[in-house]
Amino acid sequence: MKTVIQLVGIDVSARSLTVLVEQPGGDRERLDFTNDPTGHRQLIERLTKRARHARVTLEASGIYSLDLALALHRSPRIEVMVINPRASRDFAKAFLHRSKTDALDAEVLLEFVRRMPFLPWQPPPTEALQLRAVTRRMAALIKVRSQEKNRLHAARHCHELSELVRHDIELNIRHLDRRIAKLEEQAVDQVWQNLDLRRNLLYMTSVRGIARTSAIQILAKLSVLPPDLSARQWVAHAGIDPRSFESGESVAKPARISRVGNRYLRAALYMPALVASRHEPNVKAFYEALIARGKKPKQALVAVMRKLLHSIFGMLKHGAEFDGEKFYAMGRRA
């Protein structure tokens, strides 16, 4: 029996998947699924129906595409190619695609898998995926702990609530503290057992402002990214790349960060940037130079986050500790 191989392009967004499927005869069909485990399962069932096989292409869009790529990779009838977003943009330009919609993006990816050499995707190392899972759980518990602390603060100022309720909240906070500490201990053990992860952790903590907990959170997010991404693509992945807004001749709003990306990485960078801008001399000088130029504190802090991520990229790529003069040379303008 001849194997039927479908060609598939998938545009991945935070909540949805836009899928374009081409059958061997050339017929095409657009499908839409939710970007969650249920949607992934429905997509795989659709692509492998009647013992069919599929070759799938999608962009490396970090947190939104990784879980999908892993689910597709586990299916023996599906081959996956995850491409650099820059490659798909350049490919789209070659076809003179100027518009950008989910459907058009899926069409570009389908054309890419049809015309370009197929390079099967390899998942990130198991250690990186395990670290990502542990730190995700840590982040979830830290969020719950923050909510409980807010409730405790309110409870202490509300005389209608009984002492029993306040005691129960305090008890839960202590319980969460122990669970978070245990998960962090496990994450450190995982990092220490892997030479590359351990080395990268040491490089990152050479920055005065990146403590071990923050370094582990950042490292977990970066370790699962495709190795061919650039520093700018790391920044875009974190959603801290500036986006301009202009309309006609009358509307020109100030540039703001895109916020289109991994909010967990963005959150993990915030506190290190804040501490470094106070205690790392060169980072502090960069921050103060931006403030002197009229930037608001929040804008300057985002700029520090962006530049700090560039520095982390350089440290991990070249195997070197943090060099403050490379971040920002004292005495020059930001």
CATH of the domain at 79: 3.30.420.40
Give the residue from 94, 115, 136 where a domain finishes.
115
**89 lies in the same domain as 183:** no
**109 lies in the same domain as 42:** yes
**60 lies in the same domain as 98:** yes
pLDDT in the model for residue 261: 64
**181 lies in the same domain as 150:** yes
What is the C-alpha separation between 49 and 127, in angstroms, rounded?
33
The predicted model gives 273-294 an average pLDDT of 95
Tell me how long the chain is: 334
- Nearest Cα neighbor of 270 from 257, 254, 282 is 257
> Residue 155 domain-assigned?
yes
**9 lies in the same domain as 110:** yes
> Residue 293 domain-assigned?
yes
Block residue for tokens 């309309």? 247
**104 lies in the same domain as 139:** no
- The count of structural domains within the chain is 3
> Residue 200 domain-assigned?
no
**78 lies in the same domain as 170:** no
Banded model confidence at residue 255, pLDDT cuts 50, 70, 90: low
> Residue 170 domain-assigned?
yes
> Residue 207 domain-assigned?
no
**234 lies in the same domain as 311:** yes
Write the pLDDT tens digit of every residue in 155-212. Answer: 887 766 678 888 899 999 999 999 999 999 999 999 999 999 999 999 999 999 999 9
Q: Is 270 exposed, middle or buried (0-12, 13-18, 19+ CB in 10 A)?
A: middle
Alpha carbon distances (Å) from 93 to 58, 71, 159: 17, 30, 65
What is the C-alpha separation between 299 and 297, in angstroms, rounded?
5
- Nearest Cα neighbor of 114 from 6, 226, 2 is 6
Mean pLDDT of the chain: 87
φ, ψ at 53 (rounded to 5°): -115, 165
**DSSP conformation class of 261:** S
Structural domain boundaries enclosing 95:
5-115
pTM recorded for the entire structure: 0.74
